[in-house]
Every structure is written in C-alpha cells, then in structure tokens.
C-alpha cells in the first residue's frame, strides 16, 4: 500500500479541492473563526489518511460537536489572536514591582494591555470550559475531559478559591504583576496546550455545523481490498443546491467503467462527485451522501481540465497522453487508486480517439489494481469493449417529455447512452438565429 494517499496538483484543481481562481470544496468547509483554527483546518484538509484508526478519530472529533453545533460559541478572531500573542510573549518570571508613577495613578499603555489580556485569558478559560462540558454532557470523551481538568486547574490558580467570574476579577496595580507572571510564566505551557486544543475544536466545529445542517453521512471504511468495493448510496456533489442523488458501486470484478452520455447529461458532475466523496472520506470528513462503504484506496487521480502546452509545442492530444503517463507512473504495482479520465483523447479526431481509448482501456483491464472511470461520447466503442469482462457500461440517463424533447435526469444507470443531442443543443443555443441576423445585414 502507498505510504501516503496519492493525489497531485492537477487532481486537486480538477475536482475543486484547491483552486485560486474559483470556489472550492476547501472554502465550502473552511468556516473556522480563528486564524489558528483555519491553519489547523488547512493541515487536516490537505492530509488524507490511509489508516482506518486515523480516519475514525477525525470522524469522532467532528461528530461529537454536532449536538452542540447550535450552542453559543463566544470567541472572537481578534481577541483569540491577541491572547495567543500575549501567552507566547516571553516572561522572565521576575517581579517588576511598582513605580512611583503607579502610586500617582499614572497608567502606561503596557499596564492597560496587560490588564486587558489577563481578563481575556480568564474569559477564554471560562467560556471554553463551559463549551467543553456541554460537549461531554452528551458523551464523555477522554481528551475533552483532560482539557476541562486542565482549564479548571488554571482557573483555580487564577481565582484562588473564588467563583470563576471575569467581571469579579479585579485587576489593579497591586496584583497585575503577579497575575501577569502567573499567566505568562507559571501557566504558559498549560495555556498554550489549551489554545492548541481550542484551534482543533474551532476547525472541527465548522465542519460539524455544515454536516448537521445538511445531513451528511460519515463513511464506513474497511482495510484495503477487504470488501473489494466502493459503494455509495444517495451520493451527490457538494455544490448542488438541488442535488440529484445517485447510487454508485465499483467492485473488483468490474473495476473499469465506460461512462457515456450526451453533452450536458452530467458525466463530469458524477465523476467529480465520486472522486471528491472518496477524498472527503479519506480526510475523515462527512460526505454528501446517504451512506458510503469503501475499502481504503491508495489515492485519486483525474484528467479533466487540461490545457494545450503552447510553450513546449504540445497539442491537446499529446498533453492528454502525457497526463495519463504521469498518473500511471505515480502508482505502485498493487495500487487500488481511482483513476478518472474525462472525455479521454478529445484532442484528436474521432478515428484516432477511438483507437487510442480502446488500446488504453484494454491495457488497463489487464492490470489487477486501480479502479478506472473513462467517460466518452464515442458510444460505438462499447461494441468492441464488450468482450472485456471487467468493464462495466454506465450511462447518464435522459428521458423524454410529452413532446419528445430531452429531459436531463442527471441519474446514472447501467447501459450505453444512445442519445445524440449535439444538433439539438446547437439549435437551443440560438447560434443559427444569430447567424441569420448577420445574413440579413449582408443582404442590405
């Protein structure tokens, strides 16, 4: 098995996991309120896992926050950032003592900064402990209980037996130095640990809120090749506002899909749905689906949005060929990664594309390893592919209304798409009306 989950920059862009020009799945989930929470979220999101224990641990850390997703989370980005800087600022541990100006009532800016920071530290401890107790009220979690005890210890030293109430914590010239020393010196290590844990909670809470509000599922994951299946029920793409759910199964005996469908039927959407769902599964995130059961897979690779390389003089067809080689070269010999090739070899003529797709699929069918989805509009190839036993034929289903016009269902089904809608779509675009306008102008 691969040492780490295999994915590359092209795939991250293809399935909108990372792209600096448009919306991404990363942005969809990234709702943490603090910079530290956002940093933690980024690390988790771009670190897919290949061990079941790690995936389940992340799922648990998100799921446990769903019951408190609507509970007030009274923390503010700027305040937490200032508090983090204050805690991390070095303190010698030595007492500074009082100056003559202090007795005259002259307060320096540093005095007010220290006073505000002490009060913010108190409020952070009280509010976070209250929130963690709310989480553990639904189910006791060991790490959460540890943080509650650690917070309790810090507050006990800060309040010295008094009630934990920031409004009643009187900070003045006589105790500010000792309180500052307590927080930034004696309790510094504990507070840093508490802040790090808070960032984790902040990151996972953002995901839990989305999952709870949209009803996402938490996939069940098995060891590599244990079940020999990738099974998804009611899966849909995260960006669809009115999603059409699909059931998807890829298995060891049908590891290659030949996916056909007319333009606009939803081929690109379904392959992005499958690939992004598997990626979210391997980072331990909830997935937009009713249920997912899958073995661990080594990785995901796509070839969807490729551009001609004019600088090197590469045609689109050659870029596609190079991309396919790049993908295969990254796979170990026993890989069960998912490879998605969208409209493969569209950069050449119909005849060349047909021969190239046929040869590629025949060769991939001889490899006992990766799952492969090849989408294509060249439906005639299905006749030549039928003699390959581990190829499954899938299509995007199109129905007809009472007038015989096409209705896109965006549902996937067994079989081969027979619809030819190119000319219908061309007419629907209005291009011929626009050309007629030019004809009229030329006649005048």
Q: Per-residue pLDDT tens for 220-258?
A: 999 999 999 999 999 999 999 899 999 999 999 999 999
Q: Are 126 and 164 in contact (CB under 8 A)?
A: yes
What does the CA dihedral 206, 53, 273, 409 come to, rounded to 10 degrees? -100
Look at residue 94 in the predicted model and tell me its pLDDT: 63
Look at residue 434 in the predicted model and tell me its pLDDT: 79
Distance CA 242, CA 231 (A): 22
Q: Per-residue pLDDT tens for 430-441?
A: 777 877 777 776
CA distances to 12, 253, 301, 319, 391 from 298, in Å: 15, 18, 10, 24, 21
CA distances to 117, 177, 180, 189, 190 from 186, in Å: 16, 13, 9, 8, 9
pLDDT above 90 (res 183): yes
* Distance, C-alpha 196 to centroid of its chain: 21
Distance CA 282, CA 338 (A): 13
Same fold for the pair 31-214 and 220-441: no
Look at residue 310 in the predicted model and tell me its pLDDT: 47
> Where is 135: in which H helix or E strand?
helix 109-138
The CATH number of 31-214 is 1.10.1420
Report the range of poorest mean pLDDT among 32-46, 118-132, 368-382, 403-417: 403-417
Domain 220-441 CATH (choose: 3.30.1130.10, 1.10.1370.10, 3.40.50.300, 3.40.309.10)? 3.40.50.300
In this structure, the number of other CB atoms found within 10 A of the CB of residue 255 comes to 23
CA-wise closest residue to 386 among 369, 352, 403, 362: 362
The strands making up 406-414's β-sheet, listed across from edge to edge, are 300-303, 338-341, 371-376, 256-260, 391-400, 406-414
Domain spans of the chain?
31-214, 220-441
Q: Are 115 and 171 in contact (CB under 8 A)?
A: yes
pLDDT above 50 (res 2): yes
pLDDT (mean) for 299-314 = 73
Q: Are 195 and 75 in contact (CB under 8 A)?
A: no
Distance CA 147, CA 140 (A): 12
Q: What pTM value is reported for the model? A: 0.91
> In degrees rounded to 5, what are phi and psi of residue 132?
-65, -35
> Where is 44: in which H helix or E strand?
helix 35-45
pLDDT above 90 (res 138): no
pLDDT (mean) for 318-326 = 91
> Where is 77: in which H helix or E strand?
helix 77-88
Give 174's pLDDT tier (boundaries 50, 70, 90): confident
Place of tokens 């006073």: 115
Q: Are 408 and 398 in contact (CB under 8 A)?
A: yes
pLDDT above 90 (res 306): no
Structure tokens at 371: 């799952």
Look at residue 7 in the predicted model and tell me its pLDDT: 97
Place of tokens 């797709």: 357
Look at residue 96 in the predicted model and tell me its pLDDT: 62
Distance CA 11, CA 302 (A): 5
């Amino acid at each position: 098995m691969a040492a780490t989950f295999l994915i590359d920059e092209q795939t991250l862009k293809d399935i909108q996991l990372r792209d600096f020009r448009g919306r991404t799945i990363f942005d969809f989930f990234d709702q943490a309120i603090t910079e530290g929470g956002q940093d933690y979220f980024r690390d988790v999101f771009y670190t897919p896992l290949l061990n079941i224990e790690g995936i389940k641990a992340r799922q648990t850390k998100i799921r446990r926050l769903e019951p408190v997703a609507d509970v007030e989370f009274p923390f503010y980005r700027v305040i937490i950032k200032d508090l983090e800087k204050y805690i991390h600022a070095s303190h010698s541990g030595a007492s500074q003592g009082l100056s003559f100006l202090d007795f005259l009532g002259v307060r320096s800016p540093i005095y007010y900064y220290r006073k505000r920071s002490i009060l913010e530290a108190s409020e952070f401890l009280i509010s976070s402990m209250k929130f963690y107790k709310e989480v553990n009220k639904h189910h006791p979690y060991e790490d959460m209980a540890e943080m509650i005890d650690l917070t309790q210890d810090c507050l006990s030293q800060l309040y010295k037996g008094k009630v934990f109430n920031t409004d009643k914590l009187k900070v003045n010239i006589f105790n500010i130095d000792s309180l500052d020393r307590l927080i930034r010196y004696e309790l510094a290590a504990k507070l840093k640990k508490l802040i790090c844990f808070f960032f984790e909670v902040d990151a996972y809470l953002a995901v839990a809120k989305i999952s709870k509000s949209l009803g996402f599922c938490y996939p069940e994951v098995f060891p590599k090749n244990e079940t020999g299946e990738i099974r998804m029920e009611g899966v849909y793409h995260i960006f669809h506002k009115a999603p059409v759910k699909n059931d998807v199964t890829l298995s060891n005996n049908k590891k290659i899909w030949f996916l056909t469908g007319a333009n606009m039927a939803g081929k690109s959407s379904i392959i992005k749905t499958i690939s992004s769902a598997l990626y979210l599964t391997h980072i331990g995130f909830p997935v937009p689906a009713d249920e997912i059961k899958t073995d661990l897979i080594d990785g995901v690779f796509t070839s969807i949005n490729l551009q001609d390389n004019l600088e090197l003089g590469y045609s689109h067809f050659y870029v596609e060929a190079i991309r396919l080689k790049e993908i295969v070269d990254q796979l170990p010999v026993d890989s069960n990664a998912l490879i998605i090739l969208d409209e493969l070899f569209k950069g050449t003529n119909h005849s060349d594309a047909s021969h190239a797709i046929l040869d590629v699929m025949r060769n991939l069918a001889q490899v006992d390893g990766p799952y492969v989805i090849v989408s294509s509009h060249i439906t005639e190839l299905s006749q030549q592919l039928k003699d390959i036993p581990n190829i499954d034929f899938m299509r995007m289903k199109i129905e007809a209304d009472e007038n015989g016009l096409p209705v896109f269902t965006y549902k996937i089904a067994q079989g081969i798409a027979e619809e030819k809608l190119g000319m219908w779509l061309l007419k629907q675009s209005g291009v011929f009306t626009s050309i007629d306008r030019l004809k009229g102008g030329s006649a005048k």
